[in-house]
Structure formats: structure tokens, C-alpha cells
Amino acid sequence: MKPLRKLNLISDRLQEIASPPKGIFATLFGSSRHRAKVDIRVRLPQYEYLRAEMFVEDLLDLCDDEVSLGVDDLIAILYKDFLDTIARGANQKELVFKLLDKRDKYLKPSEVIKEFVNISQNHLHLTEKVIPKKIKWVVMQLEFSRKAALRGEVFLMDLSQLDPKFQLTLEELISILVIDFVTQLKAGNDAKLIQSIIDNLQDENSF
């Protein structure tokens, strides 16, 4: 599979400063027809996608179908929560370590294989080899407001300036947020996560 493309929103924005566009853009996932939009391809392991879909269905049952919610809306909520956390002043050095660790764990999973290698006649040696796990992926095409996507890209650039070894695309960041959410579901944190999502849905200014 080809690597996900890296958005160039920061470069685009710098070009626009010299020739500012007319109009004001709405924020995250808004429905304004004047909103500038960008398409983002989020890659998720098949199981994690299905688990997120099941969570949404369970949430709709609890709400008696009084709300309209899909996996794309869940992703919007998770991304908004992340941006809000950053705005409140998260420890960036800790985030560099955590995000890179989760990127390798979630997006580049591997497993250790033990095998005997014949190093000489009648002499076998047990060795360990790390190989990539075979995973079936689901790719979602999502529409973000340009302002919300730009905020994420600027934050990732801040982290890359803090640590030159830090490299993470916006698509990878969003994938990590979703997979991490599903990991919490599997750990049995359903009640807490459901309440968090309901709180977001009740906030009329969330989107």
C-alpha cells in the first residue's frame, strides 16, 4: 500500500498570506457552505474500524436514535478533544514520545518469530526475528474543515521543531487517536468513553 500523503496546508497558508482570500472560514466539520475543506484519508486496521462502528451502534441504542452519529462523527469528536487538550497546554515533550511510541505500536505493528538456524553441521541455534504483522486495513475518506486540519498540522510542526526526529502526518495522528480509543474500549472503559461522547454531542458548539 502506498504511504498516505502528507498535507501541505502550512505551505498553502503561507502563500495565502501574501494573497489573502475573501471570506471567513468556519471551524471543525461545520456545515457552512463557505467553509474551506480538505480531504483526509485515514487508515485503520479492519478490526479497529468494526469495533468503532459497533461502539457507535451501542451509543445510538442508548440514545434511542435521538442523534445521528457515524464513525466519521466519532473521529471528529476524538480529533476535537485532542485539539482542545493541546489548547489547554499539554506537555509537548511527553507527547513526542507517546505519539511516536503509538505510531510504531499501532501503525507499524510487528511480531517476534523464533526459529532455529543451522550455523554449522549438526549445530542449531535458536534466533529471534522481528517481522511486520499482516493487517487488513480500511481507508476512510473524510472531509475536514481546512482550519481544523491546519491546527493539527501546525501542532505537528511544533513537535518536529522540538525534536528533529519527530515525523508524523496528520493522517497518522488521526489514525492513532482512533486506534487508541478502541484500545481503551477493549480495556473495559466503555462507560467512561460513552459519557465523554455524550457530553460532546450535548455541546452545541462542538462542531
For residue range 6-62, what is the model confidence (pLDDT) as tens digits?
A: 556 655 655 554 444 433 223 345 544 446 788 888 999 999 999 998 888 887 777
Percent of the chain at pLDDT above 70? 61
- Tell me the C-alpha distance between 95 and 92, whole Å: 5
Work out the burial of residue 132: count CB atoms within 10 Å of its CB; fewer than 13 is exposed, 13-18 middle, 19 or more buried: exposed
Q: What are phi and psi of 202, to 5 degrees?
A: -80, -15
* Placement of cell 471570506 in the chain: 23
Give per-residue pLDDT as tens, 3-22: 445 556 655 655 554 444 43
Q: Decide which of 134 and 155 is more confident.
A: 155
Residue 17 identity: I
pLDDT band at 111 (very low <50, low <70, confident <90, very high): low
Cβ neighbours for 2, distance < 8 A, ≥ 6 positions apart:
none
Query: What pTM did the predictor assign?
Result: 0.73
- Tell me the C-alpha distance between 33 and 20, whole Å: 19
DSSP conformation class of 134 = P
pLDDT for res 9: 66
Percent of the chain at pLDDT above 90? 22
pLDDT band at 67 (very low <50, low <70, confident <90, very high): low
- Tell me the C-alpha distance between 2 and 163, whole Å: 26
pLDDT for res 191: 66
- Tell me the C-alpha distance between 88 and 65, whole Å: 33
pLDDT for res 24: 26
- Mean of per-residue pLDDT scores for the chain: 76
Q: Decide which of 97 and 66 is more confident.
A: 97
Cβ neighbours for 194, distance < 8 A, ≥ 6 positions apart:
58, 59, 62
pLDDT for res 31: 47
Residue 206 has pLDDT above 50, yes or no: no
Strands (E) across the chain are located at 37-45, 110-120, 123-132, 137-145
Among candidate residues 159, 157, 7, the one with its CA nearest the CA of residue 98: 159
Give per-residue pLDDT as tens, 158-176: 999 988 888 899 999 999 9
